[in-house]
Amino acid sequence: MAEKVTLAIVGCGGIAGAHREGLRKLWEAGIRDFEVIATVDIDRLRAEKMADDLAQFQGKRPTPYQQLEEMLRAEKNLDAVDICSVHRNHHSLAIPCFQAGKHVTIEKPLALTLKAGRRMLAAAAQAGTVFQVAENYRRAPEHRAIHWAVRQGDIGEIRMIFWLDVGERLWYWTWREHRMDAGGGWVLDGGVHFADLFRYHIGEVDTVAARSHAFHPYRYGKPETLEDPIPVDVEDTVMATLTFESGAMGQWTSVSAAPGKGFNQRILYGEHGSIDFGSGLKTRSGREESLQEMVARFRKAIGEDGWEQMFPHGVTDTIATELWEFIQAVQGKMPVEIDGVEGYKDEAICMAVYESSWLNGSTVVVADVESGAIANYQRDLDEALGL
């Protein structure tokens, strides 16, 4: 059991900054049984900047590298890697780490395609090391409380969920706008978080019927004036119907091509009432409870020891607690909540949306997407990856 877990951050772009801040919050809370000893990015300046930023709170400056292979050869005492790269590179970075015997936590989604994900799962199983997928949304106190309230029967048997996000986005989001780098649009990139919440609160998704479309062929460097158009090729509109193994139903709408009035509604309905993910609980009998009140009731129910187990030293930042759990798992103290298999199941729901749309909205069974029996949407992505 490692007394202090040594880490490398692989990929030092946008989301890596949130991981750095998560580690900083752990450090400032007195949780210091880790040290980042290496940073890796093909852009040397980004790796250098990340190393400088980490040194500010942990004291020691990590060694920056441009190539993963060089880092793995040089850092003989490295325990684990935190991969924060473009989706396309997830499998090609994670598999060498497993082969080198390293523990891995990786940003969502698991991989560009499910076939790439299966390669990663096989490598992780062969290595026998910890494999965590970064699903942090469920770790928020509000979602922990909602999960508990549902299982307490506060709204009875779950009947349906509405997850509706409608608006317009015209600004350019770099590599995320390109299918060969991202695998898909927001339904995969952010939607894999939502898929994880569907499974967390309701259970396994059985079938998906969906249609997707790209109304905007461009995003803009200057969105206010629609200047500097940049071609993009991911969807901006998805409407999907889900059925759950429990018999519950769901409507999932994700639109970023709707000008004018936008809206967001995320509500879970049971036989006795509802839980609005933005405001709280309301039942047929007239009982109402805000999210803050739900969290307080949940905290009282699990006690301070239970609260400390979820939110160590009072840290509630979801990326911080995710990384804390990974460090604990590397030390052999606890398993990770979202391992590679769970991350794979989350991604399969998103891919089922795309596969259904590819089949002109036909209903697809999620298990068939998981197994690889349905993989039409992913075929050219797999070919591009050489899989």
Question: What backbone phi and psi angles, to 5 degrees, belong to 249?
Answer: -125, 160
> Cα–Cα distance between 74 and 72 in angstroms, integer?
6
- Pair (210, 78) in one structural domain: no
Within 187-291, strands assigned E span: 205-213, 218-222, 227-231, 237-244, 249-255, 263-270, 273-276, 280-283, 288-290
Asked if 44 and 51 count as a contact pair (C-beta separation under 8 A), the reply is no
pLDDT of the chain, 387 residues: tens digit per residue = 558 999 999 999 999 999 999 999 999 999 999 999 999 999 999 999 999 999 999 999 999 999 999 999 999 999 999 999 999 999 999 999 999 999 999 999 999 999 999 999 999 999 999 999 999 999 999 999 999 999 999 999 999 999 999 999 999 999 999 999 999 999 999 999 999 999 999 999 999 999 999 999 999 999 999 999 999 999 999 999 999 999 999 999 999 999 999 999 999 999 999 999 999 999 999 999 999 999 999 999 999 999 999 999 999 999 999 999 999 999 999 999 999 999 999 999 999 999 999 999 999 999 999 999 999 999 999 999 999
355 within a domain of the structure (yes/no) = no
- Pair (169, 293) in one structural domain: yes
* Boundary-marking domain end, from 310, 325, 360: 310
- Pair (101, 159) in one structural domain: no
- Pair (22, 90) in one structural domain: yes
Asked if 110 and 189 count as a contact pair (C-beta separation under 8 A), the reply is no
Sequence-distant (≥ 6) Cβ neighbours of residue 236 within 8 angstroms: 169, 185, 186, 213, 214, 215, 216, 255, 256, 257
* Residues pairing with 162 in the sheet: 251, 267
Site of tokens 């991911």: 234
The pair of structure tokens assigned to 354 is 């795309």
- Pair (128, 147) in one structural domain: no
| pLDDT tens digit sequence for 289-313 | 999 999 999 999 999 999 999 999 9
Asked if 29 and 314 count as a contact pair (C-beta separation under 8 A), the reply is yes
> Cα–Cα distance between 193 and 197 in angstroms, integer?
6
> Cα–Cα distance between 154 and 251 in angstroms, integer?
22
CATH code of 43's domain:
3.40.50.720
Residue 19: count other Cβ atoms within 10 Å of its Cβ: 25
Residue 228: count other Cβ atoms within 10 Å of its Cβ: 12
Q: What is the pTM of this model?
A: 0.96
| pLDDT tens digit sequence for 203-213 | 999 999 999 99
Residue 283: count other Cβ atoms within 10 Å of its Cβ: 16
296 within a domain of the structure (yes/no) = yes
Sequence-distant (≥ 6) Cβ neighbours of residue 371 within 8 angstroms: none
Asked if 14 and 343 count as a contact pair (C-beta separation under 8 A), the reply is no
Determine the pLDDT at residue 41: 97
- Pair (119, 237) in one structural domain: no
Cis amide linkage into residue 64, ω under 30° from 0 = no
Phi/psi zone of residue 344: left (φ > 0), alpha (ψ -120 to 50 degrees), beta?
A: alpha
| Domain containing residue 113 | 5-136+313-337
Determine the pLDDT at residue 2: 59
43 within a domain of the structure (yes/no) = yes
The structural domain count of the chain equals 2
Asked if 327 and 33 count as a contact pair (C-beta separation under 8 A), the reply is yes
349 within a domain of the structure (yes/no) = no
- Pair (124, 199) in one structural domain: no
CATH code of 156's domain:
3.30.360.10
Within 139-232, strands assigned E span: 158-166, 205-213, 218-222, 227-231
Sequence-distant (≥ 6) Cβ neighbours of residue 27 within 8 angstroms: 57, 58
382 within a domain of the structure (yes/no) = no
- Pair (228, 110) in one structural domain: no
Identity at 249, one-letter amino acid code? M
Determine the pLDDT at residue 3: 81
Q: What is the DSSP string of 294-320?
A: HHHHHHHHHHHHHHHHHSGGG---HHH
- Pair (324, 196) in one structural domain: no
146 within a domain of the structure (yes/no) = yes
- Pair (142, 258) in one structural domain: yes
Strand pairing class (205-213; 237-244): antiparallel
- Pair (153, 281) in one structural domain: yes
- Pair (252, 301) in one structural domain: yes
215 within a domain of the structure (yes/no) = yes
210 within a domain of the structure (yes/no) = yes
> Cα–Cα distance between 69 and 64 in angstroms, integer?
13
Query: Which contiguous run of DSSP H or E holds residue 376?
Result: none
